[in-house]
Structure formats: structure tokens, C-alpha cells
């Protein structure tokens, strides 16, 4: 399949918008979601044209943006990998192994000719008369303004701003004589040998980075305001070793391990709901034997929230705890009073010396890639809109988005959403429709709107900081975004496309 979009734009214009061609489907984002979406699209609709636009200069999304030492998955790759492509490596993988896997998908599906890098989508305008989106793009390398048109917009933009990490300001930061870095913008060649490093944060990034640099730096201090949950599984699942020794097809191993990990995460998620105190105790007690003698587990590793209200950070083979045992890393649980010239002073009065401070403080959430949407000339204010099954938005025609799971692997949802979008496109084709709009039925109009994420259920900082700019959920299906794969893998494949909430024309 080819696209009618030219591979390079004409010579730089003088501020005018250059027509860049028409495609049947336009995918925004070349991360795991966009590449997965393109695979499914090509497989199900070999005759349709499509293009993938990404603001970055390479593929991989998250895995291209995050290049700090030790960057790795938190999920097992049998479920983080796609349903359609076996994973051959260890269960927990390094960022570059994930990029290599995505490269294989791009090669096998011959996606390269369809991907345009350094293309930032700035706005998308739907015309019901023309039955198409006009998608405006700024080329980051040349500054050119381009306009693509498409019949269906597939937003695979992820959930955070790749260009601007969340970087809180603390008193005294300006006088700190050392270097301050954010993991999202890790400087190439930063030499930590012999340096005293403070990592601010307690989540997956801190847990990943610290063991990776602990052997090189003089000392690494994890400075956290409050503790997170950790779980220390082996890097490679025993079952993977057993199956691989049997010399069976890789597809079998992939599928069996997928089922194993899905079931394990189902049990964890269910226990978090039904017996949170038991899971809390299990997680906290499971790390205790890995810690140095007399370690204050209550202060440093006993979270104050329920398990799974935020992601559980994975510490494969307990490597973070090994660094604590060896004394190359330590944890301080306190609040920052001020940066000093030589480090950070915390509320207890202690001053932690540092040459380098890493602010593993997370993301700025971005709603649908910060693209400005208009429908028939009217700007879409997402804060007043409701999601249709966490895939479409009421009143926004011919647009689907991918938002993965928090508790299971993100990618499990990429496959499920792609199946549903495929069904929807087939349904439209079979019924001669060129437009589909999620629409509140009369009985839905007075339903109670709920926040996109119920804080009781899932409440990490980056979601809570941005709830006010996000679209909402209703109090009934299909106006909900279900967080559990266990529910969705039953519901989404059977979702009724003719229940009156999708209006076709």
C-alpha cells in the first residue's frame, strides 16, 4: 500500500500552507501505539492509504524520548509486546531492546515509507460537508506549514508532553553549583563517575536509574517525599526458560507467557480491589529480606496509599535493593526545604551534598497531543466532552485515540482498540457511511459526568495535576473508560456498534 502524501515537502515556502496530500487514515504518533495501529490497519485494510506523523526525529515515542541510563520497561515484554509479534528477549527489557523490536515491526510491515518524522500536528479541523479532516502540521526541521487531509484521524500521541517534562521549581535552585537534569532530557555523555548524585523521586524512573548509575557514581541518594510500592520479580520468567529449552515455536512461548502474565496481573489488580491491606502487606514484606540490616522499611518503603492507586514500580532481580545493601545508594524520605550551592537541604535540617541532581519528577500530561480540534468551525473544548469507551469522544467525528492500560501493559489495549477501530471502519464501509459521530442518546443527556480518572481508583501526580483539562466519563457504558483489561477484553470485542451512541451518515 502506498500513501498519496509526498515523502518530502516542496522547498520551503513563505509562510503559506503547503498541501501535503490526502490519506484514508492519518495516524499521529510513531510510538508503540502508532506502530501497532499501522500494523493492524495494513493487515485489515490493505487497500487503504495512511501516513504516520511524529514530532520527534525517530520512532519509539517514549522509548526514544527516554534515554537515561538503565531505561527499561516496567511491564513484561510478552504483554508489552504486540499480540502479533513474539518477544524473544528477557521478560523485562531495556529501552533499546524495545526500540529494536519496534524496528522489526516497521521493517516487516514496510512502514518506513509511511512515517514522517519532525512533523508536529498543531490542529485538526473536521468538515462535515467534505467528510474529511484538514490536519495542519509544522515541520520541525524546516518550519514549513503543511496540510494533510484524511477521512479518519487516529490519535496515537501518548499521554504526556515529550518536549516539556514536569520540572517543579524549588527555592535556591539557581544557586546550586552542580548540574540539574531531567530524565526526559538526559544529556548525552553526562559523566557521573565519582559524582555525588541525588535523584528526586520515588517512582519507576528513580528505581530504574539508581541501580544503573550506582556503580559509577560516588554515591546516589534517592530523595523522596513519600514511598512507593516496589515488586522485585526475576528479569526473566522461569517459564520462559523452560519453554525455550523445549525448542517449541516462538509464537507458542509468546502466547503462553502472555497468558501467564495477564493472569498474574489480573490477580494483583483484583487483590488490590478486594483485599488492599493484604496486598499492601505482601508487597512491603516481599522487599524486606532484600534490604540492609536495620533498614527503616516503615519510613522509606511503606506507602500511604492503596496498592495500584499508582503504578507499582518493578525492580527486576531486586537491583535497587542490591545498591542499598552495597551502600552505593541510600534513601532519604523528607521534603525539600531549599537547594544550596552544594546540594539540597531537607526539612529535618540534613544537607545532602550533590554534584548532580536528577529530577525524576514525571510528566506534563498532554491532551490528544495538544492538537487544537475544530468541528465544522467550532473549537472543541474537551473539558465538556465525554469519552466513548476510552476510544472516541462525543461530538468528534471520525476520530479514535489510543490510551493504554496503567495496570496491565499499555500495548494490550493497543491491540484491543485496533480491533475495535477495524470493526468500525468495516462497519462504515459495509453500510456506505463516511461519517461516524459518538452522540449522547436522549437518555444519556442528563447522566452524571465523572472525572476522567477516579482519584480513589488511580491517582498519580501527572493525572491529578491535569484532570481539569481532560475530557470526562459518564456514569454508564459506553461513556466510560474502563481501566481493567480483565473487563475490557470481554467487553470491547463484543461492543455493539449499533446501540444508538454512534451516529453514522
Ligand X SMILES: Cc1cc2nc3c(=O)[nH]c(=O)nc-3n(C[C@H](O)[C@H](O)[C@H](O)COP(=O)(O)OP(=O)(O)OC[C@H]3O[C@@H](n4cnc5c(N)ncnc54)[C@H](O)[C@@H]3O)c2cc1C
Compute the least distance from the CB of residue 448 to ligand X, in Å: 29
Q: Does 150 engage in binding with ligand X (CB under 6 A)? A: no
Binding mask 357-386 for ligand X (x = CB under 6 A): ------------xxx---------------
DSSP string computed for 419-475? HHHHHHHHHHHHTT-S-EEE---GGGTTPPPB-SS-TTT---HHHHTTGGGS-BB-S
Residue list 222-251, contact with ligand X (CB under 6 A): none
Judged by beta carbon, residue 31 or residue 474, the one nearer ligand X is: 31
5, 31, 82, 319: which one binds ligand X (CB under 6 A): 31
Between 176 and 373, name the residue whose CB sits nearer to ligand X: 373
167 vs 340 by CB, closer to ligand X: 167
Nearest to 392 by CA among 462, 490, 489, 492: 492
CB of 162 to ligand X, least distance (A): 5
Pairing relation of β-strands 351-353 and 343-346?
Answer: antiparallel
182 binds ligand X (CB under 6 A): no
Contact code string over 408-427 relative to ligand X, x by CB under 6 A? -xx-----------------
* Nearer CB in complex with ligand X: 339/373: 373
CA distances, 153 to each of 147, 371, 416 (Å): 14, 12, 17
Using rule CB under 6 A, residue 158 touches ligand X: yes
Nearer to ligand X, 99 or 180 (CB): 99
- In whole angstroms, give the CA distance from residue 65 to residue 79: 21
Q: Least distance from C-beta 74 to ligand X, angstroms?
A: 3
Residue identified by cell 513484561 is 76
Q: Which of 3, 34, 460, 492 binds ligand X (CB under 6 A)?
A: 34
Q: Which stretch binds ligand X (CB under 6 A): 18-26, 404-412, 433-441, 492-500?
A: 404-412
54-73 footprint of ligand X as x/- string (CB under 6 A): xxx----xx---x----x-x
Q: Is the peptide bond before 31 cis (omega within 30 degrees of 0)?
A: no
Q: Give the range of 152-160, 243-251, 262-270, 471-479 binding ligand X by CB under 6 A.
A: 152-160
Answer for which of 121, 391, 416, 436 binds ligand X (CB under 6 A) is 121
Helix (H, G, I), strand (E, B) or coil at 403: coil
Going by C-beta distance under 8 Å and a sequence separation of 6 or more, which residues neighbour residue 469? 365, 367, 382, 383
| CB of 354 closer than 8 Å to CB of 194 | no
Rounded alpha-carbon distances, angstroms, from residue 242 to 97, 131, 202, 428, 445: 22, 54, 34, 46, 55
Q: Residue 197: helix, strand or coil by DSSP? A: strand
With contact defined as beta carbons under 8 Å apart, do 328 and 218 qualify?
A: no
Q: Nearest approach, Cβ of 129 to ligand X (angstroms)?
A: 25
120 binds ligand X (CB under 6 A): yes
Which one of 74, 319, 355, 484 is in contact with ligand X (CB under 6 A)?
A: 74
Cβ contacts of 232 within 8 Å, gap of 6 or more:
286, 287, 290, 314, 315, 316, 317, 318, 321
Within 8 A by CB and 6+ apart from 73, the residues are 80, 92, 93, 95, 98
State in angstroms the smallest separation of the CB of 79 from ligand X.
Answer: 8
Residues that bind ligand X (CB under 6 A): 28-34, 53-56, 61-62, 66, 71, 73-75, 80, 120-121, 156-158, 162, 205, 369-371, 402, 404, 409-410
Amino acid at each position: 500500500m502506498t500513501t498519496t502524501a509526498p515523502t518530502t515537502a516542496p522547498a520551503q515556502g513563505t509562510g503559506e500552507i503547503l498541501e501535503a496530500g490526502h490519506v484514508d487514515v492519518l495516524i499521529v504518533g510513531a510510538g508503540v501505539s502508532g506502530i501497532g495501529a499501522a500494523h493492524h490497519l495494513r493487515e485489515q485494510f490493505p487497500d487503504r492509504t495512511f501516513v504516520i506523523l511524529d514530532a520527534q526525529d525517530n520512532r519509539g515515542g517514549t522509548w526514544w524520548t527516554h534515554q537515561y541510563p538503565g531505561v527499561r520497561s516496567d511491564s513484561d515484554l510478552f504483554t508489552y509486546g504486540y499480540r502479533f509479534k513474539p518477544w524473544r528477549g528477557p521478560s523485562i527489557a531495556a529501552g533499546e531492546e524495545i526500540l529494536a523490536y519496534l524496528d522489526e515491526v516497521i521493517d516487516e510491515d514496510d512502514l518506513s515509507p509511511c512515517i514522517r518524522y519532525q512533523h508536529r500536528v498543531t490542529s485538526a479541523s473536521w468538515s462535515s460537508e467534505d467528510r474529511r479532516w484538514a490536519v495542519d502540521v509544522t515541520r520541525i526541521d524546516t518550519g514549513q506549514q503543511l496540510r494533510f487531509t484524511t477521512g479518519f484521524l487516529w490519535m496515537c500521541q501518548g499521554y504526556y508532553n515529550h518536549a516539556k517534562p514536569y520540572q517543579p521549581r524549588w527555592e535556591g535552585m539557581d544557586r546550586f553549583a552542580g548540574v540539574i537534569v531531567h530524565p526526559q532530557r538526559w544529556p548525552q555523555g553526562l559523566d557521573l563517575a565519582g559524582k555525588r548524585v541525588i535523584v528526586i523521586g520515588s517512582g519507576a524512573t528513580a528505581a530504574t536509574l539508581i541501580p544503573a548509575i550506582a556503580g559509577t557514581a560516588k554515591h546516589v541518594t534517592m530523595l523522596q517525599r513519600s514511598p512507593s510500592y516496589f515488586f522485585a520479580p526475576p528479569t526473566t520468567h522461569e517459564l520462559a526458560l523452560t519453554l525455550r529449552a523445549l525448542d517449541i515455536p516462538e509464537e507458542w512461548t509468546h502466547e503462553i507467557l502472555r497468558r501467564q502474565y495477564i493472569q498474574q496481573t489480573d490477580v494483583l489488580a483484583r487483590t488490590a480491589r478486594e483485599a488492599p491491606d493484604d496486598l499492601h502487606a505482601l508487597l512491603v514484606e516481599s522487599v524486606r529480606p532484600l534490604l540492609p540490616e536495620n533498614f527503616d522499611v516503615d519510613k522509606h518503603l511503606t506507602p500511604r496509599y492503596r496498592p495500584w492507586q499508582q503504578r507499582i514500580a518493578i525492580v527486576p532481580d531486586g537491583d535497587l535493593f542490591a545498591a542499598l545493601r552495597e551502600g552505593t545508594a541510600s534513601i532519604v524520605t523528607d521534603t525539600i526545604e531549599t537547594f544550596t550551592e552544594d546540594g539540597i537541604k531537607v526539612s529535618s535540617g540534613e544537607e545532602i551534598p550533590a554534584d548532580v541532581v536528577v529530577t525524576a519528577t514525571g510528566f506534563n500530561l498532554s491532551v490528544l497531543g495538544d492538537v487544537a480540534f475544530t468541528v465544522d468551525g467550532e473549537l472543541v473544548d474537551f473539558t465538556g466532552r465525554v469519552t466513548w469507551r476510552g476510544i472516541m469522544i462525543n461530538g468528534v467525528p471520525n476520530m479514535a485515540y489510543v490510551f493504554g492500560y496503567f495496570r496491565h501493559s499499555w500495548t494490550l489495549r493497543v491491540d484491543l482498540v485496533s480491533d475495535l477501530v477495524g470493526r468500525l471502519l468495516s462497519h462504515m464501509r459495509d453500510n456506505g457511511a463516511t461519517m461516524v459521530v459518538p452522540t449522547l442518546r436522549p437518555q444519556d443527556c442528563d447522566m452524571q459526568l465523572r472525572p476522567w480518572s477516579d482519584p480513589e481508583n488511580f491517582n498519580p501526580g501527572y493525572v491529578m495535576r491535569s484532570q481539569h483539562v481532560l475530557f470526562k466519563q459518564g456514569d454508564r457504558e459506553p461513556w466510560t473508560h474502563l481501566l481493567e483489561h480483565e473487563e475490557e477484553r470481554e467487553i470491547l470485542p463484543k461492543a455493539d456498534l449499533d446501540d444508538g451512541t454512534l451516529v453514522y451518515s
